[in-house]
Amino acid sequence: MLGLPAHVRACLFDLDGVLTQTAKVHAAAWKEMFDGCLREWATRQGTAFVPFDAVGDYDAYVDGRPRADGVRTFLAARGIELPEGSPEDPPGAETVNGLGNRKNELVLRRIREDGVEPYEGSVRFVRAVREARLRCAVVSSSANCRDVLGAAGIEDLFDERIDGVVARELRLRGKPAPDTYLEAARRLATDPYDAAVFEDALAGVEAGRAGRFGVVVGVDRVGQAEQLRAHGADVVVRDLDELLEAP
């Protein structure tokens, strides 16, 4: 009934773009933050301002990654190197952590102003998973994961939460490394082969494949089905409730 291999005993879900309609909020916040940085950089260097692409750049460099990794990866792609700074840097400081904190500030403002909507098809699927007595975990790079789950009204659907806060405490590598997914499987007392990963980010499906999970389900929200398959997805759907209709 779940469209998953019979041996699967646990389901590990990404948050933004899989469970909640917050991926577009993150993309907009990244663009606002990076465009300000890039405009100042171009002015100082006397070069043309090339804005952040909220689709192409977002998918390639920041989606699914821990915040600092996203900043670092995108700036490297533009040939820009900044000092790391520290997690306590003020928002907007010209450091990797400062820019990451500015992005987080923008995301929180947008969430406060606009709220959080879950994907109803995904909620139906998670409820069906729980009715089938499979265990569930959320695995997100976001340090705001708990707040987003609460705002969306779905926090009670999950047995475990591995997020940016937990990853920092345990020094887990972010996606595309499999560490956070492996920690979720460990906490659910499930072998990776008996767990399914659900991801909309290219870095996330890479993490699922690297961890040798039993099945990696790519969720195509933006028309990148082929890229999801190329990066490691075994199955690609547009919304998770499609799996409930699978033969």
Q: Which residues are catalytic?
A: 14, 16
C-alpha to C-alpha distance for 241 and 74, rounded to whole angstroms: 33
CA–CA separation, 92 vs 101, rounded Å?
A: 7
Distance CA(181)–CA(172), nearest Å, equals 10
Of 56, 19, 12, nearest in space to 227 by CA: 56
Tell me the two tokens of residue 100: 């990451």
Q: Which of 102, 92, 66 is nearest to 180 (CA)?
A: 66
Q: Are 227 and 246 in contact (CB under 8 A)?
A: no
For 169-185, give the DSSP string. Answer: HHTPPPTTSSHHHHHHH
**Whole-angstrom distance, CA of residue 27 vs CA of residue 25:** 5
Sheet strand arrangement including 135-139:
160-162, 135-139, 10-13, 195-199, 215-219, 235-237
